[in-house]
Amino acid sequence: MARRKATQPIQEFPLIRQLQRRFERRSPLVRKGIGDDAAVVSIPAGDWAVLTTDLLTEGVHFNLCTASPMSVGYRAAMANLSDVAAMGATPRFLLVSIAIPPTLRAADIHALYRGLMSACDRHEVRLIGGDTSASRQGLFLSITLLGTTPKSRALFRNGARVGDGIYVTGTLGDSLAGLRLLTNRSSSQRGTALKKIARDFLIDRHRHPTARVQEGLWLNQGRLATSAIDISDGLSGDLRHLCEASLVGADIELSRLPISPACRAYADKQKVDPSALALAGGEDYELLFTVAARDEQKLERQARARRFLVTKIGTIRPRRFGLHSLAFDGIRVPLPITSYRHFT
């Protein structure tokens, strides 16, 4: 682990060790970081450990033509931070493995790590280890994040009950709009151009999403949410996952979906329904969570006091109700089985 394989042909491997050492931050919780057979860390006494891992593949999850290596690193770390946030846990330790194709330059690897660590530093997450390998074709990035949460306190997907309010943090659809602005140059310039400030906002929301770690901790520690999931595959897909785990249905009001002014302006220019962007758009990394009816007022009061943006978008229904959305014309239709399409 984190040791150089003796015969790996790639010159970047000593570089990776340098990078890992450079980005290793001291912490009293890290008993042994990079450089032994394994890393050793303290877990706050009695806490549960929360573990998530992602394997990201060039050409499937990211494309180095439209995303800088720094942005790839940042978003990879943020996706894992978001998974830990959705459990209501504190993210703490990161392991990074990377398979490097011959085409990748040392400067790109530097930038990738800078991106990873800028996401981690925001949440005081420590790089404690990893591995490196050669890849014949394409960059592969494997990230494992360990978080902690007090014993018996975690937000699962399966706790939603009939009558619970359905909430989301932040605004939805921004990341998808940003991605489309980056990839479809021609269509983005159709009609009147989007104002630069809106365009920059949407692209930044795509490149630098924010894991809702503080919001997750608040929902978990205050026992406010009955269930939670992060929106990585799109509201439509992730609501389905949550309802399947909880054995319930859901009724969403499209008029309530939180859409940013920039996303609304983009949708107007493109002549698309902004709620379609919100339903299908993945990688917003907002939290989708449910709240018992009796706690909704308390939740909204606390959110205002903490300046967290949370929006009620619907209600949990019995399983036989299925998943429906109430459209602007007052007609209730089955929630489309759309989900975020990764770059392919």
- Given a contact cutoff of 8 angstroms between Cβ atoms, the answer to whether 172 and 231 are in contact is yes
- Minimum gap (Å) between residue 295 Cβ and a copy of itself: 21
Cβ of residue 217: shortest distance to a copy of itself, in angstroms?
14
Check residue 15 for interaction with a copy of itself (CB under 8 A). Answer: no
CB of 35 to a copy of itself, least distance (A): 7
* The one segment of 27-35, 109-117, 262-270, 271-279 that binds a copy of itself by CB under 8 A: 27-35
> What count of other Cβ atoms lies within 10 Å of the Cβ of residue 282?
20
3-state secondary structure of 30: strand
The reply on whether position 52 binds a copy of itself by CB under 8 A is: yes
Q: To the nearest whole angstrom, how small is the minimum distance from the Cβ of residue 134 to a copy of itself?
A: 5
Specify the residue, 5 or 306, whose C-beta has the smaller distance to a copy of itself.
5
Residue closer to a copy of itself by CB (options 236, 260) is 236
| Angle in degrees, 0-180, between the axes of helices 69-86 and 196-207, rounded to the nearest 10 | 70
Q: Would you tell me how many other CB atoms lie within 10 Å of the CB of residue 60?
A: 13
Tokens of 331: 């007609």
Site for a copy of itself in 157-216 (CB under 8 A): 157-158
Residue 3 touches a copy of itself, criterion: CB under 8 A:
yes
- Min CB(331)–a copy of itself separation in Å: 26
Residue 332 CA from chain centroid, whole number: 29
**In the bound complex, what is the minimum distance in angstroms from residue 199's beta carbon to a copy of itself?**
26
Closest CA to 278 of 333, 327, 341, 231: 231
| Distance separating alpha carbons of residues 201 and 178, to the nearest angstrom | 8
Cβ of residue 24: shortest distance to a copy of itself, in angstroms?
Answer: 14
Residue 24 binds to a copy of itself (criterion: CB under 8 A):
no
Q: Which stretch binds a copy of itself (CB under 8 A): 69-77, 152-160, 217-225, 255-263?
A: 152-160
Shortest Cβ distance from residue 61 to a copy of itself (Å)?
Answer: 7
* Stretch binding a copy of itself (CB under 8 A), from 153-161, 191-199, 205-213, 306-314: 153-161
Closest listed residue to residue 179, CA positions, set 205, 206, 199: 206
Tell me the C-alpha distance between 341 and 107, whole Å: 30
Instruction: Give which of 24, 19, 34 is closest to 109, Cα–Cα.
Output: 19
Query: Interaction with a copy of itself in 104-133: which residues (CB under 8 A)?
Result: 128-133
From the list 208, 256, 324, 342, which residue makes contact with a copy of itself (rule: CB under 8 A)?
A: 342
Q: Does 86 bind a copy of itself (CB under 8 A)?
A: yes
- Taking residues 214 to 233 in sequence order and writing x for each that binds a copy of itself by CB under 8 A, - otherwise, the string is --------------xxx--x
| SS3 state at 186 | helix
Question: What is 234-268 written as a DSSP string?
Answer: -HHHHHHHHHHHHT-EEEEEGGGS---HHHHHHHH
